[in-house]
Amino acid sequence: MIAQEKNDLTPEHFPYTRASALNIGNPPSWKKEKAMYTLRQTNRMTISVTDDEILDVKAIIDKSGIGCEPASAACWITKISVSGD
């Protein structure tokens, strides 16, 4: 799901994903100003991905012989979703 016009960041108190590197719903190092700057640089666009999408893309990357961790596959889903590739 792509969301436009996101104006605020909300911590996720009980995150769960098989992409364990993304299981941090309110990181202690989160600097809201830095995160909001990045959000503004992307025209306030956010994207949500499912575990199934992450694992499907991870399997494709793994078949290429490169391999990646699940959180890295989430980045490719974003590229595919935004570019339509």
12-67, pLDDT tens digit by residue? 888 888 888 888 877 766 667 777 787 788 787 778 889 999 999 999 999 999 98
pLDDT score of 30: 65
Q: Which residues contact 44 (CB under 8 A, 6 or more apart)?
A: 4, 5, 6, 7
User: Rounded to whole angstroms, how far apart are CA atoms 59 and 5?
Assistant: 32
User: Rounded to whole angstroms, how far apart are CA atoms 68 and 85?
Assistant: 20
Cβ atoms < 10 Å from Cβ of 55: 13
User: Rounded to whole angstroms, how far apart are CA atoms 62 and 69?
Assistant: 9
